[in-house]
Amino acid sequence: MQVPPPQPEDAGLLVTDAAIDAAAETIRGKVLRSPMFRSPGLSDLLGADIHLKCELFQPTGSFKVRGVFNKLASLSDEEKRAGVIAFSAGNHAMAVAYAARQAGVDVTICMPATAVAFKVQAVRDLGARLELVEGDLVARVMAIREERALTLIHPFDDPAVVAGAATCGREVIEDLPDVNTVLVPVGGGGLISGVAVAVRRARPDCRIIGIEPRDADVVTQSLMAGLPTPLSSSKSMADGLTAPVTGAINLAHIRSCVDEIVTVEEDAIAAAFVDVVRQGKLAIEPAAAVTVAAIQAGSVVLQPGETACLIMCGGNTDRLA
């Protein structure tokens, strides 16, 4: 779908260039300036000039550490002493557990009982207090947060998290200034919010497209409704994109900076996953494959010779075992 125009209140929710500058300085030395390279195999397969931004090489295997380190740095000493809490299907959980351990902050993580075993074990290995939740994950987190006076590290609906993600977009423009199209996987909307605002300000003519799994299209549904709209069910092999809801901050960034959101079917994700591993030579997780799936399904059309950046958002999966 073409993204609807911004609403009047959206402008006040957008992160500023100064906030992105500050985030870049805050996370410097804590996260990787992830590599970007041209993929000959995927360029030949997809008929365009394909460049991969490899966030799967971050310390916990996904882009999430950018926003988490930035958010943790904003907490008061009192908040840090009390501890933090987070909910996640896996990648955000791992990032919070990792960053909190680095900062010496007590952390509680709630994950769905159906979470990928690899991600569950990684959170345990990082020393977090972990609860696997049957039913309403967000409701359980809010109950624990209230009971123990913890600070929530939200996976996407937080300006500090979006500013952290925006550092990825800044790097895209610095490393590939002539990019024509940027394709971003979409879960709750934190990554695309940050990448889009950074890219749009630097390159107003660049096309920015988000890709969701068809069966986990919370951003598409929320854009149509005009406000964050929870999904009753969110399932996909791209488990990193199965957020049950998006946020007002994320919708503001998407309406203001993104051109289009498209959805892809599960069989297309599965086929693209194999192609990225074989042709791109990257051990991604399925969430990162949705960008290739959208091109292969014809939902995103690239012209011959067009320069496209595909955000490889993570590499945490059991599927390579």
Q: What's the CATH code of the domain at 110? A: 3.40.50.1100
Burial class, 216, CB count within 10 angstroms (exposed 0-12 / middle 13-18 / buried 19+): buried
Amino acid at position 133, single letter: V
Q: What integer is the mean pLDDT of 63-72?
A: 98
Q: Is residue 91 part of a domain?
A: yes
Same domain as 72, residue 56: no
pLDDT(320) > 70 = no
Same domain as 86, residue 45: no
Same domain as 234, residue 163: yes
Structural domain count, the chain: 2
Band (317; pLDDT cuts 50, 70, 90): confident
Distance CA 204, CA 212 (A): 23
Tokens of 244: 């049950």
Q: Is residue 98 part of a domain?
A: yes
Q: What integer is the mean pLDDT of 51-64?
A: 97
> How confident is the model over 162-202, as pLDDT tens digits?
999 999 999 999 999 999 999 999 999 999 999 999 999 99
Q: Is residue 213 part of a domain?
A: yes
Q: What integer is the mean pLDDT of 313-317?
A: 93
According to DSSP H, which parts of the chain are helical? 17-27, 40-46, 64-73, 77-82, 91-103, 117-125, 137-148, 159-175, 190-202, 218-225, 248-257, 266-275, 290-296
Q: What integer is the mean pLDDT of 52-67?
A: 97
Same domain as 250, residue 222: yes
Q: Is residue 1 part of a domain?
A: no
pLDDT(283) > 70 = yes
Tokens of 60: 């916990």
The answer to whether residues 293 and 274 touch, using CB atoms and an 8 Å cutoff, is no
Predicted local distance difference test score (pLDDT) of residue 118: 86
pLDDT(217) > 60 = yes
Distance CA 274, CA 292 (A): 10
CB atoms within 10 A of CB 234: 20
User: What's the order of all strands across the beta sheet hosting 107-112?
Assistant: 129-133, 107-112, 84-87, 151-152
Which of 119, 152, 185 marks a domain boundary? 152
Same domain as 228, residue 89: no
Q: Is residue 3 part of a domain?
A: no
Q: What integer is the mean pLDDT of 65-80?
A: 97
Report angle CA 113, 115, 120 to the nearest 5 degrees. 100
Same domain as 195, residue 77: no
* Of 317, 284, 269, 301, the residue nearest 53 (C-alpha): 284
Q: What integer is the mean pLDDT of 35-62?
A: 97
* Of 159, 156, 133, 158, the residue nearest 144 (C-alpha): 133
Q: Is residue 58 part of a domain?
A: yes
Same domain as 243, residue 105: no
pLDDT(321) > 60 = no
Find the domain containing 72 and state its range.
64-152
Neighbouring residues of 154: CB distance < 8 A, sequence distance ≥ 6: 71, 86, 161, 247
Which of 152, 174, 206 marks a domain boundary? 152
Q: What is the mean pLDDT of the chain?
A: 96
Q: What integer is the mean pLDDT of 61-86?
A: 97
Give 31-89 as a DSSP string: B----EEE-HHHHHHHTSEEEEEEGGGSTTSBTHHHHHHHHHHTS-HHHHHH-EEEE-S
pLDDT(134) > 60 = yes
Same domain as 301, residue 190: yes
pTM of the entire structure? 0.96
* Of 75, 81, 218, 63, the residue nearest 138 (C-alpha): 218
Which of 152, 179, 209 marks a domain boundary? 152
pLDDT(135) > 90 = no
Same domain as 47, residue 16: yes
Same domain as 219, residue 291: yes
